[in-house]
């Protein structure tokens, strides 16, 4: 069953709307401490650039064989051009990406030595885009939503996802019978009422529900409150090393244990979860089966260093191994 769903990923089309970023990695070696301050001296060996934020969700969908289009805003700068160049190299549809001259493209720079992240440096603009940019994105969505199986809203708190834009997306999706999945940030949490699936992490779920999630009982209380307030079809709380908790109306909560064997880097794991779930839903899986696939996909990604992705073969191999061990 899982193998059949994964094979269907290639026929699924997802529109990803959200905060576009570029992940910059500086890789090096540390052999001494600086005489100027008690900090390590990193001798740089190489520098790499990867798609981040909403663009990494697209990257995950693409890696798993699905078809994705990106919709968002970047600055008219060198890093924005790197984003566009990478999208073109991958054959990703980028006509939904708006360029705003006064805006800075969000860049997260991570300095890594001996497979460990030492520091992260962020450059970003977090104000809302211009009204003309928001209108352009909304019009693009309305023109194109019918050609997609579903929409992902990837919120990294960088100002793109306004209440009006989010409501436009959810309204258009309902009218056209498309699902909407949301990776939320706490600032905009209740903008997403009426979405199909919302996937907060434990910290976001705690803040939004005002319940400190410390055990299964508090997890269940928080989940039920949020499910009711969001009016969504499913709430999936991602819990790191504790796996996931799935809440659906009129059903008992479903706890899915983590599938990670070794955790090197959680960068981008949430993007893998929501991208895999969207592909699975588009391929005909139910919420719980889609979440289980996403859980296994995240378990693979956190075992890699950097903003990593997986492909169909990796996911199929892991699922077959799991079925053998049952």
| pLDDT, tens digit (0-9, with 9 covering 90-100), for 278-302 | 999 999 999 999 998 888 888 777 6
Mean pLDDT of all residues in 87-111: 94
* DSSP-derived secondary structure letter, 102: T
- Ramachandran region, residue 177 (left: φ > 0; alpha: ψ -120 to 50; beta: rest): left
pLDDT confidence band for 268 (50 / 70 / 90): low
Residues marked as catalytic: 271
Interstrand relation of 106-113 and 116-123 (parallel, antiparallel or unpaired)? antiparallel
**For residue 323, what pLDDT band results from cuts at 50, 70 and 90?**
low
Name the nearest CA neighbour of 268 among 301, 295, 242: 301
Q: How confident is the model at residue 243 (pLDDT cuts 50, 70, 90)?
A: confident
- When pLDDT is averaged across residues 190-194 and rounded to a whole number, the result is 95
CATH architecture of 2-22+52-105+124-325: 3-Layer(aba) Sandwich (3.40)
- Percentage of the chain beyond pLDDT 70 is 93
From the list 304, 324, 322, the residue with the least C-alpha distance to 63 is 304
Banded pLDDT at 86 (limits 50, 70, 90): very high
Task: Name the CA radius of gyration of the chain, rounded.
Answer: 19
Helices H / strands E in the chain, number of each: 10, 13
Please give the average per-residue pLDDT across 216-235, as a whole number: 96
Q: Which residues touch 286 (CB under 8 Å, ≥6 apart)?
A: none
Averaged confidence pLDDT in the chain: 90
Closest CA to 276 of 248, 296, 260: 296
């Amino acid at each position: 069953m899982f193998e059949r769903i994964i094979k269907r990923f290639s026929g699924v089309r997802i529109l990803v709307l959200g905060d576009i970023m570029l992940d910059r990695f500086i890789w090096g070696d540390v052999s001494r401490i600086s005489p100027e301050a008690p900090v390590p001296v990193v001798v740089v060996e190489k520098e790499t650039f990867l798609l981040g934020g909403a663009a990494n969700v697209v990257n995950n969908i693409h890696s798993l064989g699905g078809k994705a289009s990106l919709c968002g805003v970047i600055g008219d700068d060198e890093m924005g051009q790197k984003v566009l160049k990478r999208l073109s190299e991958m054959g990703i549809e980028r006509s939904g990406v708006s360029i705003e001259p006064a805006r800075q493209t969000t860049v997260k720079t991570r300095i890594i030595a001996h497979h460990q992240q030492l520091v992260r440096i962020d450059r970003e603009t977090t104000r809302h885009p211009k009204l003309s940019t928001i209108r352009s994105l909304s019009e693009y969505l309305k023109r194109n939503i019918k050609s997609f199986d579903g929409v992902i809203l990837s919120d990294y708190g960088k100002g793109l996802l306004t209440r009006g834009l989010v409501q436009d997306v959810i309204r258009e999706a309902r009218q056209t019978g498309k699902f909407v999945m949301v990776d939320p940030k706490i600032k905009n949490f209740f903008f997403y009422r009426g979405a199909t699936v919302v996937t907060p992490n434990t910290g976001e779920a705690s803040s939004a529900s005002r319940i400190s999630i410390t055990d299964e009982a508090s997890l269940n209380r928080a989940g039920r409150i949020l499910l009711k307030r969001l009016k969504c079809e499913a709430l999936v709380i991602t819990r790191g090393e504790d796996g996931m908790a799935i809440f659906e109306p009129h059903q008992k909560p479903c706890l899915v244990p983590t599938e990670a064997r070794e955790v090197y880097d959680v960068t981008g794991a949430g993007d893998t979860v929501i991208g895999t779930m969207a592909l699975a839903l588009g391929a005909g899986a139910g919420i719980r089966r889609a979440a289980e696939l996403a859980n296994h996909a995240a378990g693979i990604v956190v075992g890699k260093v950097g903003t990593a992705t997986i492909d169909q073969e990796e996911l199929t191999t892991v699922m077959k191994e799991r079925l053998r061990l049952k």
